[in-house]
Amino acid sequence: MLELDQALENILASIPAPKAETVSLADSSRRVAAKDVAASTDLPPFDNSAVDGYAVRSRDITTASAQNPVSLRLAGKIAAGDYFQGELAAGQCIRIFTGSPVPRGADAVVMQEDTKADDSHPDEVLFHDSAKPWENIRFHGEDVKRGATVIRRGEMLGAAQIGLLAACGVARVNVSGRPSVALLATGSELKETDDASSLAPGQIHESNRAALAPLIRAAGGIAKIVPIVPDNAEATRSALARALAECDLVVTCGGVSVGEMDFVKSAFEELGGNLDFWKVAIKPGRPFVFGRRGEKFLFGLPGNPVSAFVTMLLLVRPALLRWQGAASISLPISLGTLAEPFSNPDNRRHFIRVSMDASGQVRSAGAQASHMLSSLASANGLLDVPPKTTLAQGKIVQVLCWE
């Protein structure tokens, strides 16, 4: 039985280097950047107005106040997308809108609310307030300087990163290839959940593929759902053979315990695969198997739904991210405070389903048996309790979360 850290190290050491491909920005969500991306333009690209109002020379209105408004001659209008060719002269102002380029000669924009246009003198604007130099001007390059690195290699692209790339004019982006993952459930008791007919005696609805596919996708993998495989050597071997041929990784669930109906390990070996390790010192999730056949990988997850879910998060997710060259492969962490003590009398790490409330108080999410999905559904994280350890109430802990 391997320690979790050792098991993960073995897995990560065998994952091949990422391969790069170019995709359009529209297809880049949750992809990992394969290269640094530099800004090809300043952001903003030009000095522009932060408000709707009037561009002025601030020194022209230093004396302006509500009692003593200063009048400037209206020399033009710059709508968003327009560009003023000339230069603002002394005593002039120009009507300007949020985002419009600031004309040459102007060094401030006065908000419309601090001015008054007089209908009887359409060429004049009254200023009720002075302006500090550079007031209400957004400077070119103040957000991003041309040439600056806006995305680092290994960064996963989310909504904000994609927005930044779009603003920088990047239409296509170099990203790492995604692993295709066959998701295969074994067990003669399992029934497809998309079938309306009721369960026969002894049957249960298959749930692992449904729960694991979103986790695979969230980690950038392409999940390919394989039909349920009954517990027999031949069916397991042929399903595994096809999955290995079609996908980079095969994630199986069930059939890796010591029961006489557990066929996954032997089928994989018969197909020329080598088992790297079997069993990891964690609860839930001990009967986990990892194997390799050339550039193809087997992740044999235990069948119990929570064991499958937890081992997916702890051992498969990091492999999927490493495959894509992601810089960060560990689970997101939230800090919380234990509202109750947690004891682990066992000699393997426990990953307890916990729920953390808005004030950061961490409690058990319910019954912890590995077949019980309701406590997993009400949990928002896992608490790692080391072997032979009690974590006291009030202790500040890191809760492992998932997307």
CB of 230 to ligand AMP, least distance (A): 11
Nearer to ligand AMP, 18 or 254 (CB): 254
121-127 vs 70-78, strand pairing mode: antiparallel
**Exactly one of 101, 305, 325, 381 binds ligand AMP (CB under 6 A); which one?**
305
Q: Which of 29, 257, 266, 337 binds ligand AMP (CB under 6 A)?
A: 257
For residue 207, the partner it binds in Mg ion, ligand AMP, none, with Cβ less than 5 to 8 A by kind, is ligand AMP
The whole-angstrom separation of Cα 323 and Cα 327 is 11
Residue bearing tokens 């059939």:
255
- Does residue 130 touch ligand AMP according to CB under 6 A? no
Task: List the single partner that 381 binds among ligand AMP, Mg ion, none, CB under 5 to 8 Å by kind.
Answer: none
Neighbouring residues of 306: CB distance < 8 A, sequence distance ≥ 6: 284, 353, 369, 370, 371, 372, 373, 376
The mark string for 340-379 relative to ligand AMP (x by CB under 6 A, - otherwise) is -------------------------------x--------
Supply the Cα-derived Rg of the chain in whole angstroms. 31
Of 33, 42, 41, nearest in space to 173 by CA: 33
280 binds ligand AMP (CB under 6 A): no
Binding to Mg ion (CB under 5 A): which residues in 184-203? 187
- The binding track of 204-233 with respect to ligand AMP, each residue x by CB under 6 A or -, is x-xxx-------------------------
Query: Quick check: 356 and 254 in contact, CB under 8 A?
Result: no
Tell me whether residue 18 or residue 302 sits nearer to ligand AMP (CB atom).
Answer: 302
Residue 54 tokens, joined: 């009037």
Distance CA 149, CA 127 (A): 42
Q: Residue holding tokens 């999955």?
A: 243
Residues composing the chain: 403
Among 254, 273, 291, 325, binds ligand AMP (CB under 6 A): 254
Cβ distance 246 to 224 under 8 Å? yes
Site residues for Mg ion, window 24-63 (CB under 5 A)? none
User: Which residue matches tokens 């109430």?
Assistant: 393
> Applying CB under 6 A, which of residues 18, 302, 318, 381 lies at the interface with ligand AMP?
302
**Helices and strands in the chain: count of H runs, count of E runs:** 8, 28
303 makes contact with Mg ion (CB under 5 A): yes
User: From the list 179, 255, 284, 318, which residue makes contact with ligand AMP (rule: CB under 6 A)?
Assistant: 255
Between 371 and 395, whose beta carbon lies closer to Mg ion? 371
The answer to whether residues 335 and 27 touch, using CB atoms and an 8 Å cutoff, is no
Tokens 């995709």 label which residue?
Answer: 23
Task: Output the CA angle 281-286-288, nearest 5 degrees.
Answer: 115
Going residue by residue from 259 to 278, which x/- string records binding to ligand AMP, judged by CB under 6 A?
Answer: x-------------------
Nearer to ligand AMP, 112 or 266 (CB): 266
Among residues 187 and 287, whose Cβ is nearest to Mg ion?
187
Using CB under 6 A, pick the residue from 303, 325, 336, 381 that binds ligand AMP: 303
| C-beta of 135 vs 206, nearer to ligand AMP | 206
Q: Which is nearer to ligand AMP, 72 or 264 (CB)?
A: 264
Give min distance, CB of 285 to ligand AMP, in A. 11
Residues in region 143-202 near ligand AMP by CB under 6 A = 185, 187, 189-190
Binding residue count for Mg ion, defined by CB under 5 A: 4
Alpha-carbon distances, residue 53 vs 95, 108, 114, 123, 285 (angstroms): 6, 10, 8, 15, 64
- 3-class secondary structure for 213-268? HHHHHHCCCEEEECCCECCCHHHHHHHHHHHHHHCCEEEEECCCCCCCCCCHHHHH
Q: Toward ligand AMP, which CB reaches closer, 167 or 210?
A: 210
CB contact at 8 A, 50 and 108: no
Strand bridging mode 70-78 / 108-111: unpaired
How far apart, in whole angstroms, are the C-alpha atoms of residue 87 and residue 80?
18
If binding is defined by CB under 5 A, does position 254 make contact with Mg ion? Answer: yes
CB of 359 to ligand AMP, least distance (A): 35
Binding site for Mg ion (CB under 5 A): 187, 254-255, 303
Site residues (CB under 6 A) for ligand AMP?
185, 187, 189-190, 204, 206-208, 253-255, 257, 259, 302-305, 371
